[in-house]
Amino acid sequence: MPVEIERKFLVNGSGWRQENGVRISQGYLNRDKERTVRIRLAGEKAFLTIKGLTVGASRVEFEYEIPATHAKQLLKLCDSPILQKIRHTTVLNGLIWEVDEFLEENEGLVVAEVELEREDQSFERPSWLGQEVTEDPRYFNSNLTANPYCQWREL
């Protein structure tokens, strides 16, 4: 069974910034905490992703590439609003870091994610990495659609 092990962090400064990122539109057909069903349009590629309950930094994940035309139609069926972000990808010390710069209702939020092979895997923290938010559900993308960053009372 495919398992995603991902740690998530807030980002400080702009040392992570790349010239070009990929614009992502992401919607949810189901945002139940035990399972999410996501549609993602990333540039010209599109994906259907099903994720299980997050336990620590791990969860079951199934992801399938789908035609972009299908994703555009499926996004119309998703709960509103559709999450918008620009993803910047960088490789540091053999690990792929994905830095999401959120837009629209989540503007101002920048989060870095790294996928690991084991939950206890050690890694060198980039200088721009801030507080870890892996287990804070406010930062789950599925929750940012229901409770966007701009509405948070405590920032």
pLDDT in tens, 106-123: 999 999 999 999 999 999
> What 3-state class would DSSP assign to 93?
coil
Question: Tokens 């989060």 label which residue?
Answer: 111
Q: Which of 40, 24, 38, 3 is nearest to 89 (CA)?
A: 24
Q: Structure tokens of 73?
A: 């139609």
Per-residue pLDDT of the chain (155 residues; tens, 9 = 90+): 688 999 999 999 888 887 789 999 999 999 988 999 999 999 999 999 999 998 888 999 999 999 999 999 999 999 889 999 999 999 999 999 999 999 999 999 999 999 999 999 999 999 999 999 999 999 999 999 989 999 997 65
The number of beta carbons lying within 10 Å of the beta carbon of residue 20 is 6
Q: Which of the residues 28, 64, 139, 149 is marked catalytic?
A: 28
Question: Residues of the chain with pLDDT > 70: what percent?
Answer: 97
Amino acid 154: pLDDT: 63
Q: Which of 98, 88, 102, 95 is nearest to 149 (CA)?
A: 102
Q: Is 19 within 8 Å of 86 (Cβ atoms)?
A: no
Domains, the chain, in order of start with CATH, read 3-151 (2.40.320.10)
Question: Residues of the chain with pLDDT > 90: what percent?
Answer: 81
Q: Is 58 within 8 Å of 2 (Cβ atoms)?
A: no
Amino acid 126: pLDDT: 93
Based on the residue annotation, tell me whether 28 is a catalytic residue of this protein.
yes
